[in-house]
Amino acid sequence: MNNRMNQEMLKKNFEEHEFETSFFETKEQAADYLKAQVKGQKVAFGGSVTLQEMGLFNALSEENEVIWHWNEPGPETLAKARDARIYITSANGVSETGELVNIDGTGNRVAQTLYGPEKVYFVVGANKIEKDLSAALSRARNVAAPLNAKRLKTNTPCSRTGERCFDCSSEARICRATVILERPTRGMKAEVVFVNETLGY
Ligand code: SF4
């Protein structure tokens, strides 16, 4: 895992893959940037410790309608989120070669990154970045997912310590869909907002 970002390589490889990129040293700078970019919009958030740590819900709520099931849980909120023009989430694994990996249980988060919004922002801390797609996939499976299971206190073998995946067959398994974005899907804009500090998991 890299603790510092190779900005030049990330910019080159993600932009070659048709993603927009932006780079910030701190989460506060990234939040200010998103506040300036997103105004008067219907915005939805994916479940994300990164966004929580940034305080982004309150920051964007000043000038937008923000829909977040972590703020208002329930199926109605998830249904409302499907109409948002802007979607903001993080990624579970990011490759320096220009791919984004997300693992989902309910599917709402990965679905919104594939079809629906006009633009998706992925806010990514330096701790999410790996050297290639294989390592990013491994990070998503063996680091992000067990830590999320631990946070959710799921009845899965990984949730006790959050240290590794057991590829379980539990009913409570949170890993049900793995999406690799190699490029933004056709007709959708996507920007990766890199933050050079540890954010989320
Ligand atoms: S597959 Fe099961 S054991 Fe592995 S991280 Fe997901 S929930 Fe945990």
With beta carbons less than 8 A apart as the criterion, state whether 95 and 124 touch: no
Token pair listed for 140: 């998503």
Can you spell out the DSSP letters for 61-80? HTTSEEE-TTTS-SHHHHHH
Q: How many angstroms is it from 156 CA to the middle of ligand 1?
A: 6
4-57 per-position pLDDT tens digit: 789 999 999 999 999 999 999 999 999 999 999 999 999 999 999 999 999 999
Percentage of the residues of the chain whose pLDDT score is greater than 90: 96
176 C-beta closer than 6 A to ligand 1: no
Give pTM, 2 decimals: 0.96
At residue 137 the predicted structure's pLDDT band, cuts being 50, 70 and 90, is very high
175 C-beta closer than 6 A to ligand 1: yes
174 C-beta closer than 6 A to ligand 1: yes
- Point out the ligand 1 atom lying closest to the alpha carbon of residue 173: 7
- Point out the ligand 1 atom lying closest to the alpha carbon of residue 170: 2
pLDDT above 50: residue 81:
yes
Token pair 């923000």: residue: 66
- Point out the ligand 1 atom lying closest to the alpha carbon of residue 148: 5
162 C-beta closer than 6 A to ligand 1: no
